[in-house]
């Protein structure tokens, strides 16, 4: 099955295009806001696997962008739905702060993991 068919089958689309989705679960992985282009090999990734058009958020706009993300989640999540936001450690405090001050969403917990970039 090609990616386009999968996206259509599971109704996966860019959150910018969402309107009244009424989702049970929203999973999002926003840019990390660390001036990362997604292309360097320091993460042992194959550059060919990085989606063309990858956009990084500037550190100075990260809080505002997270606010927009939370607005979108709130408008499109069922009242008893859940959202999972993946983040690098660099700006997880910004996400936590924005959620804590956001009316209508509640932070239920945080999970951390480590990734050793030296592993090949």
8 part of a folded domain: no
Number of folded domains in the chain? 1
14 part of a folded domain: no
Q: Look over the chain and give the mean of its residue pLDDT values, rounded to a whole number.
A: 77
4 part of a folded domain: no
Residue-range definition of the domain harbouring residue 25: 20-120
32 part of a folded domain: yes
Q: What is the DSSP letter of 65?
A: H
Q: Which of residues 79 and 89 earns the better pLDDT score?
A: 79
85-109 tens-digit pLDDT: 988 777 888 999 999 999 989 999 8
2-29 tens-digit pLDDT: 666 766 666 566 677 788 889 999 988 8
- Give the residue ranges of DSSP H helices in the chain: 3-9, 62-76, 92-100
Structural tokens at position 43: 């993460």
53 part of a folded domain: yes
């Amino acid at each position: 099955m090609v990616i386009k068919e999968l996206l259509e089958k599971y109704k996966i689309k860019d959150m910018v295009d969402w309107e009244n989705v009424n989702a049970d679960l929203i999973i999002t992985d926003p840019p990390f806001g660390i001036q990362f282009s997604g292309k360097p090999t320091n993460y042992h990734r194959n550059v060919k696997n990085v989606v063309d058009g990858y956009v990084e958020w500037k550190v100075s706009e990260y809080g505002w962008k997270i606010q927009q993300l939370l607005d979108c989640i709130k408008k499109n999540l069922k009242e008893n739905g859940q959202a999972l936001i993946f983040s690098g450690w660099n700006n997880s405090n910004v996400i936590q702060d924005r959620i804590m001050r956001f009316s209508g969403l509640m932070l239920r917990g945080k999970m951390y993991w480590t990734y050793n970039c030296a592993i090949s």
